[in-house]
Structure 1
């Protein structure tokens, strides 16, 4: 098909694709523990119906002890390569409802943006795949495997088992992970690095039971104060992570203007940024340490007593090139040796994930860049890093070492994924749908099949 044909086809299917995105985003498919998982099942069924309706003859809902994923397949024409299209249909919890300007699960268009939980992360990724399939209809130039996961936001616990179980059915020459974003509105990007992840629980104990804060305070350290002092040692005075043994690397030579970053992050006036070095290094290729939560008495019910034990959840993002097992040992050794006043510190691993980095050269990357350049009307794509983590990409790389992994996405700097008022820029979504359609056409022309 010609470029003009593909543009016309995407324009034709886009209104229906957007309506289907709205219908899918109405389903509150949250895979987190403690939530009703019935909507996750409904979401998987809805995705399966979308893939069947887009012309995939082999569509199944599968699971390996966790939440349901959907696999849809269409064999490659003779001599053509196969492309694996990944996205996920589960979403984050909504958080504080009072911070939302619209109902989270009633997608609402305002000024060219579609607001709602999952509208960007990552149900728009699912529908971008559907748009490309609909645009081609029966004339797909490549084999396609669509893999839509159901628990990515909750850690992809069963994904590795699933990938290994269905390894031969999902083998591909090119893997498109549609779960990232672009550099800016109007500027496309390929994500070429992601940080890894080590989440730990930090338990501090100073007493075997609570005691009167007046009678014993001043001589006996309480666990909560001890925990606060311990957590304060995670950073040096400049805000760089102080844990020895973690890797730092250099990011791509992009300039990230500080004023733009402050606006996009929502940091308050007068609050300083932390860390040293180039901004892209700080947010893409240096480690971070973040206190995600603390278990302690609530202020309204706290007695006047010294707290005997306290717990924090700490998330450490790892630079590309670091190893999560070695990093955990470094974190554990540092914290357990740093208990103030001899406080007993125990560090346990909650979750770890490998970083991702790719040398983005070769026919598949050329095909992607050409598709992006066309879809964005001549704007050259840039290679970016992302400070977040997608640990399962390492499993894809292990299982399919000959495949080219392309990390793409629909988000822009104001999408606010995981936060209140998540939204999708509909103009950029249209470009993403066209870019993926053009990518499949380019892959058919320039990538030689080797999967299997």
Structure 2
């Protein structure tokens, strides 16, 4: 990527002074009420609600989004809810599809000469409730406090369909020429987008020649400028279980003779991770960081500094009158960025075999089970990683215990394609026009399964992967919030980029 900034005197295509208040009013009058209704629906992804079809929550949020889009009366827009089934007849999670034809605008210009299409992507399914919400907040209780809209899914990623359509309206309100635009809003992203490929295959003839993908499901380094996501980690997940006994026994009678399933679990995990540093040990889970991404990490570290790690809700305690905070793995901002984007990491996200504390007696438990989430850097094949992980964890179990690893999901990471001159110029111009600062470039530690699929299907398309998940927004955790002023400026910036597409 050429890191030289464009001429700051270069005028934006759209009138930013008029566009920003227009977008703000749309957010206040139309989007925020819709998002309040959306947050109140427990539309959990199928991985967390196997009876999603019977419960109807995903259908509710998709239908309400479709009704909202239709109510905007965007000239030329057509939409439909598309429903497919599995080979055995079970329903797949539905998607919302919309199309807007290319337009020459009102000022005597011409539609973009390339004839290419913009694909706008988002999702409406949600992560589960989680615990730890503030007493005045809740996952299904939308609350707007100090320009932050709290509640599950507003930022990840319910706002995307509303912001996308508003960006299209912004183009038309200013009479700007724009390319053909299609939208694909799914309802299984938080489950790994398992249903998405059949929809992409079915809709492929209608996608057209995609030259730009706008994915509003990512993060931001701060709320002061536009941020482009340059990479995403992959993931390999599953349940590791260690069984020693067929039933619990008195710990005083058995301990010292019967090996603890928890201690065996620790030994097995020691094959995978250095518990002192958190470094993943198998070489096949590591990659060399590309030179371009390393340079971007250094530039981003110079912008964010300590905020790279201070953005998280660190636990703290009093010690001799001083407040001590838990420490990050590194306080070097560059290393911190690389650790969360280009290096593999292990997280234990769930456990079984443990009684609740109030029910824990002096019993040696028969088994221990952990749900593992292994984040993989771009370039590591997730399917192969799952096989390697299973062999590593199961072979030669200590004490001949029964050790099993049952994979639950895998998605390969993504590295953005090279940025073309028009796209880089559009990003910086949009960020300057609507934030007053140049665009930032940052990798993300999470996974968006769709991105590899789109990169493979449209290898020449530019990928505008961005989003509102900035500092402390806490997607997937308690107190998730959407930073409304940032989302408003992002909406305007997306419109600006689309207006500049050749």
TM-score, normalised to structure 2, is 0.81
For the pair 1:274 / 2:329, whether they are aligned, the reply is yes
Residue of structure 1 equivalent to 2:94: 68
Of 53, 56, 59 in structure 2, the residue corresponding to residue 38 of structure 1 is 56
Residue of structure 2 equivalent to 1:450: none
Give the Cα–Cα distance (whole angstroms) in 1 for the partners of residues 196 and 245 of structure 2. Answer: 41
TM-fit CA distance, 1:120: 1.2
Residue of structure 2 equivalent to 1:288: 345
Residue of structure 1 equivalent to 2:187: 150
Structure 1 residues 218 and 11: alpha-carbon distance in aligned structure 2, compared to 1, 3 A threshold: closer
TM-fit CA distance, 1:303: 5.6
For the pair 1:260 / 2:307, whether they are aligned, the reply is yes
Give the Cα–Cα distance (whole angstroms) in 2 for the partners of residues 358 and 234 of structure 1. Answer: 28
Of 203, 216, 232 in structure 2, the residue corresponding to residue 178 of structure 1 is 216
SS of residue in 1 equivalent to 2:368: strand
Give the Cα–Cα distance (whole angstroms) in 2 for the partners of residues 52 and 10 of structure 1. Answer: 18
Give the Cα–Cα distance (whole angstroms) in 2 for the partners of residues 206 and 122 of structure 1. Answer: 42
Of 355, 368, 391 in structure 2, the residue corresponding to residue 298 of structure 1 is 355
TM-fit CA distance, 1:188: 1.8
Q: Is the 8 A contact 1:13 1:134 kept in 2?
A: no
Give the Cα–Cα distance (whole angstroms) in 2 for the partners of residues 179 and 384 of structure 1. Answer: 14
SS of residue in 2 equivalent to 1:182: coil
For the pair 1:372 / 2:431, whether they are aligned, the reply is yes
Give the Cα–Cα distance (whole angstroms) in 2 for the partners of residues 389 and 247 of structure 1. Answer: 17
Matches within 5 A, 1:11-410: 11-16=24-29, 17-31=31-45, 32-34=48-50, 37-54=55-72, 55=74, 57-64=77-84, 65-77=91-103, 79=113, 80-96=115-131, 98-99=133-134, 101-137=136-172, 141-171=178-208, 172-236=210-274, 237-250=276-289, 251=294, 252-253=297-298, 254-255=300-301, 259-268=306-315, 269-274=324-329, 278-299=335-356, 300-302=358-360, 304-337=362-395, 339-362=397-420, 363-377=422-436, 379-410=437-468
SS of residue in 2 equivalent to 1:19: helix
Structure 1 residues 30 and 370: alpha-carbon distance in aligned structure 2, compared to 1, 3 A threshold: same
Residue of structure 2 equivalent to 1:421: 479
TM-fit CA distance, 1:170: 2.4
TM-fit CA distance, 1:262: 4.1
SS of residue in 2 equivalent to 1:173: strand
Mark the runs of 5 or more structure 1 residues left unpaired by the alignment: 447-452
Aligned CA-pair RMSD: 2.5
Q: State the aligned residue count.
A: 443
Q: Is the 8 A contact 2:301 2:308 kept in 1?
A: no
Structure 1 residues 141 and 229: alpha-carbon distance in aligned structure 2, compared to 1, 3 A threshold: same
TM-score, normalised to structure 1, is 0.90
SS of residue in 2 equivalent to 1:255: helix
TM-fit CA distance, 1:208: 4.5
Mark the runs of 5 or more structure 2 residues left unpaired by the alignment: 1-12, 85-90, 104-110, 316-323
TM-fit CA distance, 1:150: 1.0
Structure 1 residues 324 and 124: alpha-carbon distance in aligned structure 2, compared to 1, 3 A threshold: same
Residue of structure 2 equivalent to 1:3: 15
